[in-house]
Amino acid sequence: MKHNVHLYATVRVKVKDIEAESHSDAMCEALGMVDINELFRDVPNAQGLETEHAEEITALLVDEVGDEDYSNSQYYEWVTGDDAEQEFRPLHPYDELKYVQRPYKDLDVPYELDEDVQTFLHELCRRFDVTFTGGCRAFYTAKEWELLGNNHYKAAAVIVHDGGDLSYLLNLDKCDSREAVQRYEMALALAEEHELWIEHLSCVSAAVYRKESPSE
């Protein structure tokens, strides 16, 4: 039996250097400048696949040019009503990118990372433009990790389990170029700035500890 499988993959379209008085104005301008349907329609597909826009924008991210530490960056949800009015609702930085602090659905354990650890993860993702987690949930507390059957790393502030962009930042064995090694070293330096250190666990996971905490 043959089947047609539709992969609803999320892509990022960056519209640069928009002059606007506010984030909302900048987003309206960007939406008016880009025809996403045309972006996909005009791209030659070497794999012989059919592609088209699925008529959904899951989130928008606004950076302010010159804001090097991204302190004014914000994610938004685009909401359109029946009366054709549109609204941009601020999102938690991880909401639409699967970096969501929430309990694992099968475990009755609150997933609450300390604020300093969340700050480090947010800065790491923003500084290195992390937008893809390989389809998995990225962050776990040590308690959640233990209840999932992993008996080590109980002193970790957070376990990062990721097959996407983060894995290239936290695991040296995935660095296949000088640039990748430099990014890895910058990620370690960022952890150092936050009084944290990183232990490589596997090609898709790492443990983040506070400096005073030993590995297990």
Stretch (H or E) spanning 143: helix 142-147
Residue 103 has pLDDT above 50, yes or no: no
Residues 47, 114 within the same domain: no
**Residue 48 vs residues 4, 39, 44, 45, 51: alpha-carbon distances, Å:** 14, 17, 9, 6, 10
Residues 145, 189 within the same domain: yes
Choice between 114 and 132, residue whose per-residue pLDDT is larger: 114
Last residue of a domain, one of 61, 91, 121: 91
- For the segment 91-118, the average pLDDT, to the nearest whole number, is 48
Closest CA to 9 of 131, 169, 174, 167: 131
How far apart CA 75 and CA 88 sit, in angstroms, is 9
Please report whether residue 120 resides in a domain.
yes
Residues 117, 82 within the same domain: no
Please report whether residue 5 resides in a domain.
no
Last residue of a domain, one of 48, 64, 91: 91
Residues 83, 107 within the same domain: no
Residues 72, 144 within the same domain: no
Residues 128, 36 within the same domain: no
Please report whether residue 193 resides in a domain.
yes
Residues of the domain holding 171: 98-210
Residue 201 has pLDDT above 80, yes or no: yes
Q: Is residue 186 classed exposed, middle or buried when 0-12, 13-18 and 19+ CB atoms within 10 A define those classes?
A: middle
Residues 31, 60 within the same domain: yes
Please report whether residue 162 resides in a domain.
yes
Question: pLDDT category, 26, cuts 50, 70, 90?
Answer: very high
Report the number of distinct structural domains present in the chain. Answer: 2
Question: pLDDT category, 205, cuts 50, 70, 90?
Answer: confident
The pLDDT value recorded for residue 91 is: 62
Choice between 9 and 85, residue whose per-residue pLDDT is larger: 9
**Residue 95 neighbours by CB under 8 Å, 6+ apart:** 59, 75, 77
Q: Is residue 99 classed exposed, middle or buried when 0-12, 13-18 and 19+ CB atoms within 10 A define those classes?
A: buried
The pLDDT value recorded for residue 189 is: 92
Question: DSSP readout, 99-129?
Answer: ------TT--------HHHHHHHHHHHHHTT
Residues 137, 199 within the same domain: yes
- For the segment 16-39, the average pLDDT, to the nearest whole number, is 89
- Residue 120 token pair: 């480090």
- For the segment 92-103, the average pLDDT, to the nearest whole number, is 39
Residue 192 has pLDDT above 90, yes or no: yes
Please report whether residue 164 resides in a domain.
yes
Residues 108, 203 within the same domain: yes
The pLDDT value recorded for residue 17 is: 92
Per-residue pLDDT tens digits for 120-170: 887 888 788 776 655 556 778 888 788 777 778 888 988 887 767 777 888
Residues 87, 181 within the same domain: no
Residues 123, 204 within the same domain: yes
Q: Which residues pair with 78 in a beta bridge?
A: 88
Q: Using the 8-state DSSP alphabet, how is residue 214 labeled? A: P
